[in-house]
Structure 1
Amino acid sequence: MADLKTLIEANNEKFMACFKANDMKGLAKLYTEDCKIMPTGSDTLVGREGPEKVFSGAWAGGVRTLELKVEEVGPMGSDVIYERSTYTMKTEDGSVADAGKYVVIWKKVGGDWFLHIDIFNSNKA
């Protein structure tokens, strides 16, 4: 289980680095081609254009860093992992723009792990 958590944390580091660099195309490539992203207050978006659109919107809204904290990871077979975690989005001055929780289903494709289903919810009312 610790190895799975280490694997997911390493992938999340790539995700956070892409976001911080405003590289939303690179961030979207961390998802499967047929991914599904389900953000708060929105319909499900299918395909890599979804995460690119969602996280570009956060950037446009002033978010500059995204912190992901892994709370639980577990296997769902040989090529699927679940992750339950929290996120914090911060602006340039370090103030919290949003915080919430998420669940990701990771899928192994061609030997590499990708975000396949991503659902997140803000803690804001």
Structure 2
Amino acid sequence: MKKILIISGLIASVCFCKAQNTDIELENVRKVIELSNANYADLANKGDGSILTKYTEDACLFPPGSAPVCGHEHISSFFKGSPKVKVKFTIQHLYGDPKTCITEESFYEMTDPEGKKMDDGKVIVIWKNTKNGWKMHRDMFSSNHPMK
């Protein structure tokens, strides 16, 4: 009986330590994603393709009211000619493997450069850990308001 209690205690402590490591790793990934989200609109507004540094080579956007937009060439075209905006993302949930792939659920608020609210909505991004760091692999977003 004593052996069973000792083994059970060891197993529980290993699981607890593993959960703590995962929480710390997930918090580190959260910080990376928050930093990436903070300058997302700035890169998109440049119109020079620098927004592509946020995405994997085989990334896809899933914008509302249109077909998926996949690959750097098409994603770059999607952002060209877009209006200049500011976007604030608020992460609601992150889950997944903090070593390979994370899913982000966020809300966004979009304003024009002067701060006038243009839109708000929700985002789901699948982040992939690449040799160049965490990149968006799938990016799905939609407004909280009916399409005009």
Is 2:71 the partner of 1:47?
A: yes
Kindly, what percent of the aligned residue pairs are identical?
Answer: 27
Of structures 1 and 2, the one with the larger relative CO (CA 8 A, separation 6+) is 1
When you count helix as a share of all residues, which structure comes out higher? 2
| Poorly superposed stretches of 4+, deviation over 4 Å | none
- What is the root-mean-square deviation of aligned Cα atoms in Å? 1.9
Please, which runs of 5 or more residues in structure 1 have no aligned partner? none
Is 2:91 the partner of 1:70?
A: yes
Equivalences, count: 121
Q: Which has the larger radius of gyration?
A: 2
Is 2:4 the partner of 1:4?
A: no
Matches within 5 A, 1:46-125: 46-59=70-83, 63-76=84-97, 78-125=99-146
> Normalising by structure 1, what TM-score?
0.83
SS in 1 for 2:32: helix
Distance 1:88 1:103 in 2: 14
Q: Is the 8 A contact 2:47 2:81 kept in 1?
A: no
Q: Is the 8 A contact 1:19 1:66 kept in 2?
A: no
Q: Which amino acid counterpart does residue 102 of structure 1 have in structure 2?
A: V
When you count strand as a share of all residues, which structure comes out higher? 1
2:52 maps to: 28
| Residue 2 of structure 1: how far off its partner (Å) | 2.2
